[in-house]
Amino acid sequence: MKEDQEDYAPFEYAKDSPTRSILKAISWRFIASGTTFLVTFLIFSNTTGHTFDQALETAWYVTVIEFSAKILIYYLHERLWTNIRWGKYWRRSYWKQRSWKRLYRRMHDDQNI
């Protein structure tokens, strides 16, 4: 296998599909929004004097708004980053070719004498 093929991930396999991005966004939002719901409910039921139903309703409204806004923002963020090549196609031999690494090693080898 050629070195270039070994060092880089194939382009078609390294980029997430839009469907994968939206599924990742949805799964994360359920986890994060569940946390938001729980925290909001606990705060409103314990510190504001709201009844159980009022605290539940307030936590539900906050969670629905938070879920909708953040899933859209996350999806757009994910799609933006999937189109940025920086840091995605990493060469294994990158560190071996860096002159600063050789200089660093030389400096530290001299101190161990």
pLDDT value at residue 5: 47
Contacting residues for 53 by C-beta, under 8 A, at least 6 apart:
none
Rounded to whole angstroms, how far apart are CA atoms 74 and 12? 23
What is the 8-class DSSP label of residue 94? T
pLDDT score, position 71: 85
What average pLDDT does the segment 36-57 reach? 90
Please give the average per-residue pLDDT across 51-79, as a whole number: 90
- How do the domains of the chain map onto residue ranges? 15-111
Cβ-proximal residues to 56 (8 Å cutoff; 6+ apart), any chain: 41
pTM listed for this prediction: 0.54
Distance separating alpha carbons of residues 32 and 25, to the nearest angstrom: 10
- For 75-101, how does the pLDDT look when each residue is reduced to its tens digit (9 = 90+)? 888 888 888 776 666 555 555 566 666
